Homo-oligomer: A and B are copies of this chain.
Amino acid sequence: MPKKQKTITIDGIDKKILRALMQDARTPILEIARNVGISGAAIHQRLRKLEKAKLISGSKFIINPEVLGYSTMAFIGIYLDKTANTTDVVRALKRIPEVLECHYTTGHYSLFIKLLSLNNTHLMHLLHEKIQSISGVQRTESLISLDQVIDRQIHI
């Protein structure tokens, strides 16, 4: 059954708080308070409200993969055998650290993944030795990102 999720309403102050923290999760609450014009304690309480409503699902430091040598991002469509156990395939994909996203999708593919590799040789290795060797994987189709020109979260 689908996870039901209440939608909540947020006002202008909530938006300002969220925008500041979406941009830099370490922005001090008191700094936000000064910009917004209410007390730090009030910001604090609103944040607890937003967390309770699960609107905020955490915070992350963003690592620049290029500095670690990861220069190739690719999207891979995966065809599975009719008899394949999808759960097992996903479990195997989780064990490949280069796989960053995995989706069940409509359309031709059974699974659709996003991955990051050091270069094209590494990508080929991942495809042939890691992904296509998973039991149940029939074939794959690759889409290599030459340049990512938009990368953002939903607008608030």
* A residues lining the B interface (CB < 8 Å): 3, 5-8, 18, 21-26, 53-71, 73, 75, 77, 90, 93-94, 97-107, 109, 112-113, 116, 142-156
Closest residue of chain B to A61 (Cβ to Cβ) is B21
In the assembled complex, how far is the CB of residue A23 from the closest CB belonging to chain B, in whole angstroms?
7
In the assembled complex, how far is the CB of residue A20 from the closest CB belonging to chain B, in whole angstroms?
9
Across-interface contacts of A105 in B (CB, < 8 A): 75, 143-146
Across-interface contacts of A7 in B (CB, < 8 A): 67-69
Option from B24, B90, B148, B152 in Cβ contact (under 8 Å) with A58: B24
Q: Which of A18, A22, A58, A107 has the most CB atoms of chain B within a 10 A radius of its CB?
A: A58
